Amino acid sequence: MTEYVPVPVAAGPMTAAQRFWRGYGYLLGGLPLCIVAFVIAVAGFAAGVGTLVVWLGLPILAGTLRASRGLAGVERRGAEWATGRALPPHHYRAARGRGIGRLFSMIADPQSWRDLLHAVVAFPLRLAMFIIAVVWTVGGLGSLLYVTWEWALPREGNGGLFWLIFGYQFRLGDIALNTALGALMVATAPLVVRGLVATRAGLARGLLTNQTAALRARAAQLESSRRAAVQAEAQTLRRLERDIHDGPQQRLVRLNMDLEAVARRLDDSPEKAGPLVAEALEQSREALDELRALSRGIAPPILADRGLGPALAAAAARCPVEVSLDVALPPGQRLAAAVENTAYFVVTEALTNVAKHAHAALCTVVVTADADRVLVQVRDDGRGGAHLGKGHGLAGLADRLATVEGVLDVVSPPGGPTVLTAEIPLRGVGDDR
């Protein structure tokens, strides 16, 4: 399994002044960043390799790679901020296992080694760019304003730009040359800064991104989501088949038998057909109620007509456990149909599990949304012990979330409380309503 990092949304167009000052800040910030990154990379790598023989090097190398990874993230964000364009995607392999196995898994990540290499290779480049940017801008401004401070320079002996070029002293010529040079440097400073930024961002693009690997990771993630969708759909169909067989189908069989009995009674004992008709009507009403309950679990009309908030309120009202519901969604806006259906499914399945297994007195449901995701949290004061093991209801819930690239987290220590948190992304989920 890999951790896929998507392409960030690029910033909007910048003015020339914004581009210059952002680029200048990016170059100035490169000095402390390159020193810290270089020291961590070199010292950590040397210490880790030198102590591998006593196994102490494993955690040192893993920590060094982790630190380089964090600093690489800072460099990526800085490059995107300065250029106003998104870098290509990258990905890190998710660490697996425990103990030494997890350390080996962290060390085996190729992108982390590319981050470490970038910290070493970029050090002289970022240092040189800092010096060039400062000298070009500050030196150019100083030369442009040479006439305001040249009077303070000592007059004894030879010196000055004019003397270096022509071999003799001439004050007005020295002022004119320095002012012209300063004007040229100040005028070209935006181009110089832009070129330096492009060079540094190009190095970041070359070492800190890997579009091919990221796309492979994305393809693997989508394949996993597809398998999860198929599995979740199969589980839903099996459960629906079982519920129909155990509920409405049995009542309809009983209704058919009662109607046959009524048909026989109408010929020989009409007065005895009345109770059978009443029982048949009761069976038909109960079968209809069960079918309605099953349809609500699949796609309730209130969800399609009025949205997630009213649908969850109706589901909370039907739950035998007391439910405190807090839905904070953007007013007047509807989420994508897939997001609403998934969030509704998460809450209703969680409430069903609470009612069946938790022995809880109170359940709290909180639903919030921002520009990137919908967060669903279901908390109960029951006995705890819930987990995501195979064959349990929560595993099917995780599969359902995986179909929309969502994530499920369950914290349920013995004795409770149980906190179920589902994160449903909004980007990339189309509205098929």
pLDDT of residue 194: 95
Q: What is the pLDDT of residues 12-33, one digit of tens each?
A: 577 888 999 999 999 999 999 9
Residue 60 pLDDT > 80: yes
428: phi then psi, degrees, rounded to nearest 5: 85, 0
What integer is the mean pLDDT of 85-108? 84
Kindly state the tokens that stand for 92.
């890190």
Kindly state the tokens that stand for 125.
């480049």
Question: DSSP letter string over 141-159?
Answer: HHHHTHHHHGGGS--SSS-
In whole angstroms, what is the distance from residue 191 CA to residue 20 CA?
9
By the 10 Å C-beta count (0-12 exposed, 13-18 middle, 19+ buried), 137 is classed as: buried
* Beta-carbon count within 10 A of 371 CB: 7
What integer is the mean pLDDT of 178-202? 93
pLDDT band, very low/low/confident/very high, at 289 (cuts 50, 70, 90) = low
What integer is the mean pLDDT of 388-396? 63
Q: What is the pLDDT of residues 290-335, one digit of tens each?
A: 666 555 555 567 777 788 888 888 888 888 889 999 988 877 778 8
Residue 219 pLDDT > 60: yes
Helix (H, G, I), strand (E, B) or coil at 407: strand
pLDDT band, very low/low/confident/very high, at 9 (cuts 50, 70, 90) = very low
Q: What is the pLDDT of residues 29-53, one digit of tens each?
A: 999 999 999 999 999 999 999 998 8
pLDDT of residue 141: 93
What integer is the mean pLDDT of 165-191? 83
Quote the percentage of the chain above a pLDDT of 70.
71
Q: So where are the chain's domains?
A: 1-209, 247-298, 306-425
In whole angstroms, what is the distance from residue 239 CA to residue 262 CA?
34
Block residue for tokens 């020295």 = 174
Q: Selecting from 3.30.565.10, 3.30.200.20, 1.10.1670.10, 1.20.1050.90, what CATH number does the domain 306-425 have?
A: 3.30.565.10
> How high does pLDDT run on average in the chain?
80
